[in-house]
Amino acid sequence: MPSSRGAAQSRPPYIPRSSSSSASFKGCCCCLFLLFSFLALLILAVVLVVVLALKPKKPQFDLQQVGIQYMNITTPNPTAASLSLNIRMIFTAVNPNKVGIKYGESRFTVMYRGIPLGRASIPGFFQDPHSQRQVDATIAVDRVSLLQADAADLIRDASLNDRVELRILGDVAAKIRLLSFDSPGVQVSVDCAIVISPRKQSLTYKQCGFDGLNV
């Protein structure tokens, strides 16, 4: 008859139920992590293949028209002047891609001889593939103070020469939209050197560049 000691030695070791459940839970978490990692890599691979197939290009944001709606210069004292000005700008947004583009809010600054006169903003919008759209912005300059020398130059350019040189700087934020997903932001810098005729309220010269002025 086997002894009680031999029977005790032949029994399998006791494994606590909590340890077994913990090991099973860790195994499930590991499987889920691997599954999600595989799905993420698969989605990334599909997106890369689609992007390479579409060959997305940067959108074009071109300044078409500039008009002066109002201009007034006052001299409250001999050493300074105050400028009020309304400028209306019309841009043409061109989407050369096979997919839509989502634009964020765009901001532009108008400068005269390095002096910021005012700023304008264009609300964000969505543009369909292979389309062209006009957007406009108005810059309202309300009694901006200028030094007397700069004010005199502006008066001379506007009244005598009928030629006011301005520079328009801005950044356009855009994202390519594909299957309800937006790509990382693409920044397009607009830099335009323009000349306007205050008498005709029209644009007489324009040279624009994207990502820097092309001179």
If one compares 123 and 186, the residue with the highest pLDDT of the two is 123
Asked if 143 and 156 count as a contact pair (C-beta separation under 8 A), the reply is: no
Q: Which of 164, 170, 166, 167 is nearest to 135 (CA)?
A: 170
The pLDDT > 90 percentage for the chain reads 2
Instruction: For the chain, give the mean pLDDT.
Output: 75
Neighbour count for residue 87 (Cβ, 10 Å): 23
Half-sphere exposure of 146 (CA within 13 A, CB side): 29
| 3-state DSSP assignment of residue 207 | strand
The residue written with tokens 């964000």 in the block is: 124
Q: Are 29 and 21 in contact (CB under 8 A)?
A: no
Confidence of residue 213 (pLDDT cuts 50, 70, 90): very low
- Name which residue leads in pLDDT, 48 or 109: 109
Q: How far apart are alpha carbons 144 and 87 in whole angstroms?
A: 14
pLDDT band at 215 (very low <50, low <70, confident <90, very high): very low
pLDDT of residue 212: 38
- What single-letter amino acid sits at 54? L
- More confident: 158 or 81: 158
Q: Which residue has the tokens 């494994």?
A: 15
The token duo for 64 is: 């078409």
Strands 181-182 and 115-122 turn out to be unpaired
pLDDT above 80: residue 33: no
Q: pLDDT: is 44 or 70 the higher one?
A: 70
- The pLDDT value recorded for residue 49 is 54
Question: pLDDT tens digits for 70-111?
Answer: 777 777 766 667 778 788 888 888 888 888 888 888 888 988
Helix ranges (DSSP H) in 76-193 = 148-155
pTM: 0.63
What does the DSSP 8-state code read for residue 14? P
What pLDDT digit, counting tens, does each position of 106-153 carry? Answer: 888 988 888 888 888 888 888 988 999 998 888 888 777 777 778 778
Contacts of 190 (CB under 8 A, 6+ apart): 61, 63, 108, 168, 169, 170, 171, 172, 208, 210
pLDDT bucket at 214, cuts 50 / 70 / 90: very low
Residue 175 has pLDDT above 90, yes or no: no
C-beta of residue 98 within 8 angstroms of C-beta of residue 174: no
Q: Which residue has the higher pLDDT, 27 or 188?
A: 188
